[in-house]
Amino acid sequence: MGPCRKGLVRVNNGAFTVPIACSDHGVPLPATTFDLPSRLCAKTDPSLIADDDRHFTTIAARLDRELAAIESRLDQLRRSPGVSGEAALERDNAIHRLTYERTLLRRFGLDMCLGRMIFAYSGEIVYIGRMGLRDEGGDTLLIDWRAPLAEPFFAATLASPMGLSSRRRYRWSNGRITDYWDEGFTSATVNDTTSLDDQAAFIASLGTSRSGKMHDVLSTIQADQDSIIRAPATAPLVVDGGPGTGKTVVALHRAAYLLYSEPRIASGGGLLFVGPNPAFLSYVDDVLPRLGEDGVRLCTLDDLIPETATEIEDGDSARLKGVLDPEAVIARAVSIYEEPPTASIAIDTMRDEIMVGPGEWSAAFASVDSDVEHNTARDQVWDELLGILTEIVIDTVEDAEPDEVRSFLSQDPELRGNLTAAWPILDPLDIVGDLFSVPAYLSLAAPNLNEAEVACLQRAEARAWTQSDVPLLDAARRRIGDPTDLKTRRRAESEAAAEQDRMADVVEDLIATDDSELMPMTMLRGDDLTGALDDPTGREAVAPDQLAGPFGHIIVDEAQELTDSQWHMLFARCPSRSVTIVGDRAQARHGFAQSWDERLHDFHLDITQVHLSINYRTPAEVMAEAEPVIRSVLPHANVPQSVRQTGAPVGRCSVDEVPALVTAWLADHAEGIVCVITVSPASLSLTATERVSVMAPAAVKGLEFDLVILVDPESFGTGIQAGVDRYVSMTRATAELVIATGESSA
């Protein structure tokens, strides 16, 4: 249907376009941002939208000036003279921040306004936005959705109106408002049904077609979700909820909220968001930028190490690795290579010999800080040993020069050889590989394993990494360090020393040629000027591991699947234990008989647990079919209650009809996506496209599709894993579910 007002033209107000409506006779009508279909003409009454139009005109003008100011500031920064050190870092950070603000303004414009609320006691109208905005006089035009004042917009209910008389939510399309919904909270506004449509905004959004990216749902966050999003990060938070309850929505919006509300998280290393698989991360990777945050690091567990470990390991070996404490295992495995020599050796000191015995070695080895990587600590041991021996020589040899003695001792080949044998440079991959190929070594590193369990973990190809190996590989890298980093650091130190020697020669030459009376060149021998002459910018630097942490907060989605080893790997990156854990015990493929408290008991977490019990995504017709599936394997599963019905029953077809069904559905639906879920994606004669995915059950966690076709669900097998896979697959549907079997639909 067409708009209520005909002949729309646009007056360009700089970067942001304010629409102007005209009558059939070309007479200009008041400016409006509303473009409602004719069936909603009642909502275009000026008494309902005039306040909004005036406010949007003010916002558009302010955004235009704000964008111009950002462009000017960016131009100034980029044209500024070259700087170095801290000043360069500050300029780069300012450019990054301003560039991101410009991107957000260009992306949204007026539609960064989510809605408005009117306070009952004052009649004040407050507009909520993706970011805060003030006019030149300091008056508020938009309240950032994360600000405390914005909380009633999301959290107010009839039972607890939080001081509101009404709330309005907008639906935007191409910079125009195509619909809006009002909710009343007082006796006067509840009875005013002109534009009242309680919950319609949210319910309407649930029925819209999906795409390859998660929908923008910020304006329709519900009260139960908002309370979790805004929960303080003072204690570990567990969010437990069934399929479709908005766990991922809560997790992502909580990430943006915490970075805004708790500066200690940003200053403590930032925020890490861990998802179940790459497809999930691709699905949600645009959510946080839309919320005004681009500093959150998204990854899977496999991303935490550079090695490729895509093979999924099942059975006893995966179970045994899953209960190991990887840090303890690796610490014992590495300790074998950190034993001080027990024999004494005689070394030359230029004038005499001294004995280096177990006492000197033990003192040097004991000087290492516990948190220093093995390969880095080797240099600490060497420096400490040279210091101990230098003191011995100075005490026994008259007129000995410490620097000369230390330099001489450092060249002793036998001393170096003993250190290399007692504290060798290690490769973390070799250490983990040896655990799976040398039974005696694994027995020493993991004494809690019995002989049969040790044998179970041995394999012919030591470095055939699986996903179950990731925690051990990660612990080995953190405990040992990367040998290539050590080489890079030593090369940088060598280059720095060579540069200092070269500059020292230059200084001496300048002083030698200075025949002036005051001889100002002698000042170059001063420490400050000598340091100023040293320029490290051209040297190779060791790039920090962007996922190594520590992080100020970690959010884990689909957390019910994590093993003890994987939890150790994550908590190693978050010493504060400031975490948000999101999951559903009923969706754990390997079972989850414990409570969350019991599951996390060994990590000494005093958790706060909250539940989401309303299914906003999956139609009631689909849940009626899915509930018996999960209860057949988990009788006490927490199955959420659906809030909507589509009227479409679960369909049935034969497997050979699937391609034709997909083709017909795409022809009937200009928008929306389809997923065909099967245990053998490669065997299905169906080509994946932008709107069609063919996936295995384990890969669809956290995703959603308009149409789900479940191929031969009985082929998933029996037991808990098969039942969970069927349940998860069925509940990915937001509109329709079709079950395809080997039997003909006729």
Residues 305 and 414 in one domain: no
**pLDDT, mean over the chain:** 84
Residues 607 and 634 in one domain: no
Domain membership flag for residue 533:
no
- Per the document, the length of the chain is 746
Q: Is the pLDDT of residue 567 over 50?
A: yes
Residues 691 and 632 in one domain: yes
Task: Check if the beta carbon of residue 660 is closer than 8 Å to that of residue 745.
Answer: no
Residue 687 annotated as part of some ligand binding site:
no
Q: What angle do CA 78, 15, 111 make, to 5 degrees?
A: 110
Task: Check if the beta carbon of residue 245 is closer than 8 Å to that of residue 613.
Answer: yes
292: Cβ contacts below 8 Å, ≥ 6 apart: 104, 130, 131, 144, 256
Residues 163 and 88 in one domain: yes
Q: What is the pLDDT of residue 11?
A: 38
pLDDT digits (tens, 9 = 90+) for 126-166: 999 998 999 988 999 999 999 999 999 999 988 899 999 99
Enclosing domain of residue 430: 315-324+344-483
Sequential DSSP letters for 76-129 = HHHHSPP--HHHHHHHHHHHHHHHHHHHHHHHHGGGGEEEEEEETTT--EEEEE
380: Cβ contacts below 8 Å, ≥ 6 apart: 367, 368, 369, 372
Domain membership flag for residue 640:
yes
pLDDT digits (tens, 9 = 90+) for 704-717: 999 999 999 999 99
Q: What is the pLDDT of residue 209?
A: 67
Task: Check if the beta carbon of residue 449 is closer than 8 Å to that of residue 443.
Answer: yes
Q: What is the pLDDT of residue 165?
A: 94
Domain membership flag for residue 608:
yes
Last residue of a domain, which of 430, 456, 483?
Answer: 483
Higher-confidence residue of 415 and 220: namely 415
What proportion of the chain, given as a percentage, has pLDDT over 90? Answer: 54
Last residue of a domain, which of 467, 483, 499?
Answer: 483
Task: Check if the beta carbon of residue 71 is closer than 8 Å to that of residue 90.
Answer: no
Domain membership flag for residue 509:
no
Q: What is the pLDDT of residue 82?
A: 65
Which residue, 580, 71, 347, is CA-closest to 79?
71
Domain membership flag for residue 515:
no
Residues 158 and 137 in one domain: yes
Residues 731 and 678 in one domain: yes
Q: What is the pLDDT of residue 13?
A: 40
Residues 124 and 247 in one domain: no
Which residue, 149, 146, 129, is CA-closest to 59?
129
Q: What is the pLDDT of residue 94?
A: 84
pLDDT digits (tens, 9 = 90+) for 629-654: 999 999 988 899 998 888 889 999 99
The domain tally of the chain equals: 4
Domain membership flag for residue 525:
no
Last residue of a domain, which of 434, 452, 483?
Answer: 483
Q: How many CA atoms lie within 13 A of 418 on its CB side?
A: 24
Task: Check if the beta carbon of residue 34 is closer than 8 Å to that of residue 110.
Answer: no
652: Cβ contacts below 8 Å, ≥ 6 apart: 738, 739, 740, 741, 745
Residue 245 annotated as part of some ligand binding site:
yes
Residues 421 and 466 in one domain: yes
Render the burial of 16-28: b for 16+ CB within 10 Å, e for the rest. Answer: bbbbebeeeeeee
Residue 243 annotated as part of some ligand binding site:
yes
What proportion of the chain, given as a percentage, has pLDDT over 70? Answer: 84
Q: What is the pLDDT of residue 459?
A: 93
Residue 244 annotated as part of some ligand binding site:
yes
pLDDT digits (tens, 9 = 90+) for 447-479: 999 999 999 999 999 999 999 999 999 999 999
Q: What is the pLDDT of residue 485?
A: 64
Q: What is the 3-state secondary structure (H, E, C) of 214-283?
A: CCCCHHHCCHHHHHHHCCCCCCCEEEEECCCCCHHHHHHHHHHHHHHHCHHHHHCCCEEEECCCHHHHHH
Sequential DSSP letters for 327-360 = HHHHHHHHHTT-PPP-S-EEEE-SSSEEEE-HHH
Residues 587 and 676 in one domain: no
Q: What is the pLDDT of residue 101?
A: 83
Query: Tell me, what amino acid is at 41?
Result: C
pLDDT digits (tens, 9 = 90+) for 248-299: 999 999 999 999 999 899 888 899 999 999 989 998 988 988 887 878 999 9
Tell me which residue has tokens 């410490």.
Answer: 402
Q: What is the pLDDT of residue 243?
A: 92
State the average pLDDT over residues 100-109. Answer: 83
Residue 583 annotated as part of some ligand binding site:
no
CATH number of the domain enclosing 658: 3.40.50.300
Residue 537, classed as helix, strand or coil, is: coil
Residues 214 and 134 in one domain: yes
Residues 72 and 208 in one domain: yes
Q: Is the pLDDT of residue 497 over 80?
A: no
Q: What is the DSSP letter of 27?
A: P
Residue 401, classed as helix, strand or coil, is: coil
How many angstroms from the chain centroid is the CA of residue 73?
A: 30
Q: How many helices (H) and strands (E) does the chain have?
A: 27, 24
Domain membership flag for residue 334:
no
Residue 563 annotated as part of some ligand binding site:
no
Conformation bin of residue 273: beta by default, left when phi > 0, alpha when psi is -120 to 50: beta
Domain membership flag for residue 565:
yes
Residues 646 and 661 in one domain: yes
Q: Is the pLDDT of residue 572 over 50?
A: yes
- Whether pTM > 0.85 for this model: the answer is no
Spatial separation of the C-alpha atoms in residues 734 and 242, rounded to whole Å: 14
pLDDT digits (tens, 9 = 90+) for 405-414: 888 888 989 9
State the average pLDDT over residues 485-499. Answer: 60
Q: Which run of H or E residues covers position 431?
A: helix 428-435
